Amino acid sequence: MTNTPNTTKVITGIVRLSFVNLLEPAETLAGDMKYSTQIWIPKEDAVTLGKIENAIEAAKESGKNKWNGKIPANLNLPLRDGDEEFDDEGKPKVPGHYFMNCSCKTKPGIIDRFKQPVDDPERVYSGVYARVSINAFGYNAAGNRGISFGLNNVQIIKDGEYLGGRASAEVDFDEFELDEEDDDLM
């Protein structure tokens, strides 16, 4: 699928998922229950970034009816530079990537790279690599005006290191041989 400037739908290249709430919804700051994830787009993925920029422009045009017929000058945009935003320790939040949040009220479809359904929490986690189907839209809520992306579907492509400090059991433990002292403890 190719994106033209008048479509708000994007199917990304391979991105990394963080803050994953795809199998069960999580409560938002507004008190809504939503499925969501943050997607990390590598800066060298010009194709995906171009599609996202085109979708943002299309959403600006289609959103004019929410903003009194014109695009506001101070519009909040979803795509953020991971090298220009910093964590509490002063380090870039997502080095080498752009990132943005996507959410939806209904559970997204999740498949693997062979188009088989996925609902296993061991395969849908923060750190996994995926492709994502999203739609840009304009919003005007509580005095905030901007563009956001709704989450449609996710295709899990490959495993990645867990984000947020969690490690797999295989990483945490070596093979363990029982000896006589261990037998006495049981």
Asked which of 11-25, 45-59, 171-185 is least confident by mean pLDDT, the reply is: 171-185
CB atoms within 10 A of CB 148: 20
Please give the residue that has the higher pLDDT: either 7 or 183.
7
Q: Is 60 exceeded by the pLDDT of residue 4?
A: no
The domain limits of the chain are 9-185
Q: What is the pLDDT of residue 180?
A: 72
Query: Which residue type, as a one-letter code, is found at position 159?
Result: D
Q: What class, spelled out in words, does domain 9-185 have in CATH?
A: mainly beta
Q: Mind listing the pLDDT tens digit for each residue in 94-120?
A: 999 999 999 999 999 999 999 999 999
pLDDT at 168: 66
- Band (pLDDT 50/70/90 cuts) for residue 2 is very low
Residues 6+ apart with CB under 8 A from 127: 16, 17, 18, 159, 160, 161, 162, 163, 164
Residue with tokens 């999203």: 134
Average pLDDT of the chain is: 91
pLDDT the model gives residue 172: 78
Distance separating alpha carbons of residues 76 and 81, to the nearest angstrom: 14
At 47, is the secondary structure helix, strand, or coil? helix
CA dist list (Å): 186 to 4, 13, 179: 66, 51, 11
Residue 5 has pLDDT above 60, yes or no: no
Place of tokens 């304009």: 138
Per-residue pLDDT tens over the stretch 41-80: 999 999 999 999 999 999 999 999 899 999 999 999 999 9
The string of pLDDT tens digits covering residues 113-162 is 999 999 999 999 999 999 999 999 999 988 899 999 999 999 999 999 99
Instruction: Please name the residues in contact with 101: beta carbons below 8 A apart, sequence gap of 6 or more.
Output: 19, 36, 37, 38, 39, 78, 148, 149
* Per-residue model confidence (pLDDT) at position 1: 44
Per the CB < 8 A criterion, the answer to whether 146 and 76 are in contact is yes
